[in-house]
Structures are given as C-alpha cells and as structure tokens.
Amino acid sequence: MKFNFTFLALLFSFGLSAQTPRVISGPMLGYAEHRECLVWVETRCALRLNIEYVCESDDKLKGSEVIKLKHGDHCQPVVSKFVISNLQPGKTYKYKLSLDDQEIKFDYPLKFFTKELWEYRTDPPPFTFIAGSCAYINDSLYDRPGKPYGQSTSIFKGMAETNSQFMLWLGDNTYLREVDYSSESGIRYRYRHTRRNKDMNKLMATRNNYAIWDDHDFGPNNSCKTFDLKDASLETFKEYWGNRSYGQDGKGIYSRFAWSDCDFFMLDNRYFRDEDNMPDSLLANKTQLGAHQLDWLKQSLLSSRAAFKFVLMGGQFLNVNTDQESYVYFKKERQEILDFITFMRIKGVVFMSGDRHHTEIIKLERVDSNIIRTEEAKALEDDTQKKDKKKEKKKKQEAIESPELSKKDDDDEPTGPKHPYTLYELTCSPMTSGGSNVMKTPEAKNPMRITQTMVDVPNYCQMTVSGKPHKRNLLIKCFDANNELRWEFTINQAELE
C-alpha cells in the first residue's frame, strides 16, 4: 500500500490550523461610562482571553483583564465581554488582545475611551455621533433567488473614517431570513454571519456602539409579541451587543444612557407589541411599547434634565402620512405620548428611527396631529393647571414674606411652555439593504417632510451637539455611501422649549 504523504501533510496542517485560536469577529466597543467600558469579541478555539491596557496620557494608569473559557466546545464560536472598570474619566486607553498568550494584530489601533467628567466643572462638552439602520449582508446560500437584496458594504469603511464618539444602530442591524427565525441556532447563525463582515470591523472597534432592534433582527417581517422565539432573539441580541442594560425584569431591550448633557432613550418596539392589524375596537389598550415600558419612558423623560432627549425606536413615530408599518397603527398610544410631552412640558425631545429604507426629517406642528386628545391628556392638562395655580400662589406668598426666596425656581414643578412646541423626527435608513420606493407613492409629497431631506439610497447620518448651556444646537448631516454630503439641518434647543 502506498501512502500519499502530501495529502497527510495537508490534512495534518488543516487540523492544526482548525485548532488555532483566532478572533472571528470584533473587537467591538460597547457602552462607555466615566470609569467603565465594555469590549466585545467573538473567538474560536481559545481557552484564555487577555486584554492589557494603558492610558495614552499616563502610563501609570494600566491594567489587564482575563477571561477563561471551558474545555469542550471551545472551538465553537464564543462571545466574550470584557467589562473594564476602575478607569479614570476622560481618558483614552490603548489595549492589546491576546488569545492563549498570543497577541492578535489588527489593521487599526485598538483603543477604548471613558466619558469626560464635566458636571459641575465646565460647560457641557460638544460631541458627535453617527447613526444608521438596515444592514443587510448577502448570504447566497440562504438569500431569496434573484438579484441580491444587499448592497455594497463599503459604506461602513466611510463611516469608520467619520468623526464620531459613538454609533447608534437604529434597528434591522441584521436581517433574519426564513431559514433563520425558525430556530434559535438559526437566529445565532445570522447574527454571527452579519458580525463577521470585514467592512464593519474598524467601525465597531473605533467608537462605542449602542443598539436597538426592529422586526428583522427580532423575528419575521412585521413581527410582534406573538413570535414564539422572541426570548431566543432577546438573548442573542444581548449577547451580540454591548448596551449597559436591557429592559426590566429580564424583558425587552429598552434602556437609557447619557452623553454630555443629552439623554438617549432606546425603545423596544417589538417584544411587547400587539399585532398591527388588531382593530382598536377589539383591543382597547392596543400597545406597541407595553404598559411597563410606556411607564418607564414617561418616568424617564420626566426625570431627565437633558438639553436634548433623543427617543430612539425602530419604526417611525411622528409620520401620519404613511400606510407603512409605523405608529399610525397605534394612534391612541402615539397620542398619549404626545400629550404627556405637552402637558408635562418635557423639553428638548427629538425622535430618531430607522426601518423605512430612506432618510428624511419629519416635522410635526402640534396642531397637525389630527388626533383627538385622550381622556388622560385632559386629566394631565387639568392637573398641570392646578399645579400652576398653586405655584403662582406660593410665589406671591413668598414674595411677601421673603423677596429673595421668591426668585428661586421650584424644580419639582413643570416649568416649560404653555403651548406645545414643534417636534422633529430623523429617520435614517438604509445602510446596505435595498432602497425605498416611497418616491413612487403618494407619500412622496408628504407635507410633514423637511424639504430636500429625502434620500432613498444607502446613507448614514452624523449629528453634532454644540453650543453654550441652554443654547445648544443639533447639527444633522446626511452622507451617502460615497461619503458625499447630501444635506444638513440644524435644530436649536430653544425651538424645543
């Protein structure tokens, strides 16, 4: 018998390479706080992961973190999260990543960042972030026949070169196919496949990433709370993203984070959602957010003192001139939120969404809501008026007793406008999925749209918050896949008060 030594050598070589520890996706930066940061990575065949880090401006500030994995299935893809704590605020740290004591090299420098401690010390610092939604990565084995739906992923390279402290992923960050959402393993396969895209690497490694979801990274198209694998989707989403928290009591993905003097409210529009087509007459309390999340949103908005309060959700909120999936299927809850913002005098609210496969800014003049106010709104209005009268009476009494005391503001009472202000919503989509046909529909002439903000080709948006306290400005820029500026628009803080 003759042995093919060449074949055996190749087989032996393949066996060795198959066991070689390697990074299959990442690293990705998750949330950042003043003294903490999350670094995410997915590996194969490594038993020991190590991060060593050192502050760029002070080499005495350094440390390391180790994650040890169990033997057995360690050559299956494994997600690991380093939560690096006890850092100093406002610092940049260089780091290196090692698998089984072998340093892994990347084409870009590895760094993470902590938030600046400016409170009670300086004016709020300016900052810049980017946003996008609808990232479809082609997979010929499981895609539908015909022309690929996904477009070039080179847009991620341009986004990586765009100045920004963090990235907002506004839903449909991956696209579950029919073959995926029928099993938990299929859902995990799709997330893993999307995250391996090489063009995403630098984008996710060089700034912090925060994410919400929409139907395609939750389950089937237009899916809701009846999706039987929603808990598997929830766990996979939590595994592949690095938000600081997810929902309450282990349910949903909604959460909140702050950056400089702004708050970001990341909503979950799927886990608690009723079926869009359920008639209001059959379900009096039809909801998209669910009672607990809706209460959380109201309480959180009321407690926020942020200059801009960004409310993020997968689908459009303000637009009433569409027949596409949006809050038009939940008119009562939409109006309840608008009424709450109005009568509790919540300042600085800006909505952000994805989903629609086009980008636009929607402007809602409050007289244009065209929906009768709810009974709750009337109660809120009566309550606010009573508080105003009590506050005015209290001020008059204080003015008599103590002129100095009467000058103080009472932060426990609503101090906003007597009349509702105009609201804005930025919808930003798509990054790599197919474009919209909205310009071929009656919605092309949507009177709520800010002129010239419609973009129906792959794009992303860059937002910059700057200016003195109480006079902050939000500059929004839209760039296409070639990094060419399509439009820019500014919202002043004063407009939202």
CATH of the domain spanning 127-369+414-496: 3.60.21.70
**pLDDT recorded at residue 387:** 61
Class of domain 21-113: mainly beta
C-alpha 18/C-alpha 423 separation (Å) is 55
List where CATH 3.60.21.70 sits in the chain: 127-369+414-496
**pLDDT recorded at residue 401:** 60
**pLDDT recorded at residue 366:** 80
**Token couple for 383:** 């309550």
**pLDDT recorded at residue 470:** 95
Bridge partners (DSSP) listed for residue 55: 93
What does DSSP assign to residue 421? P
| Burial (CB count within 10 angstroms: exposed 0-12, middle 13-18, buried 19+), residue 381 | middle
DSSP string, 83-130: EE-SPPTT-EEEEEEEETTEEEP-SS--EEE-----TTTSSPPPEEEE
What is this structure's pTM? 0.89
Question: What are the strands of the beta sheet with 262-266, ordered from one edge?
Answer: 255-259, 262-266, 308-313, 349-353, 423-427, 360-364
List where CATH 2.60.40.10 sits in the chain: 21-113
pLDDT tens across the length of the chain (497 residues): 444 544 444 333 334 445 789 999 999 999 999 999 999 999 999 999 999 999 999 999 999 999 998 866 668 899 999 999 999 999 999 999 999 999 999 999 999 999 999 999 999 999 999 999 999 999 999 999 999 999 999 999 999 999 999 999 999 999 999 999 999 999 999 999 999 999 999 999 999 999 999 999 999 999 999 999 999 999 999 999 999 999 999 999 999 999 999 999 999 999 999 999 999 889 989 999 999 999 999 999 999 999 999 999 999 999 999 999 999 999 999 999 999 999 999 999 999 999 999 999 999 988 644 444 555 555 655 665 566 566 666 666 665 565 554 444 444 455 444 578 999 999 999 999 998 999 999 999 999 999 999 999 999 999 999 999 999 999 999 999 999 999 999 999 999 99
| Positions of E strands within 114-233 | 127-132, 166-170, 208-212
**pLDDT recorded at residue 7:** 43
- Peptide linkage before 77 cis (omega within 30 of 0): no
**pLDDT recorded at residue 75:** 83
**Token couple for 293:** 């999340």
> Which DSSP helix (H) or strand (E) runs through 349?
strand 349-353
**pLDDT recorded at residue 252:** 97
Residues contacting residue 112 through CB under 8 Å, at least 6 positions apart:
29, 32, 37, 39, 53, 84, 92, 93, 95
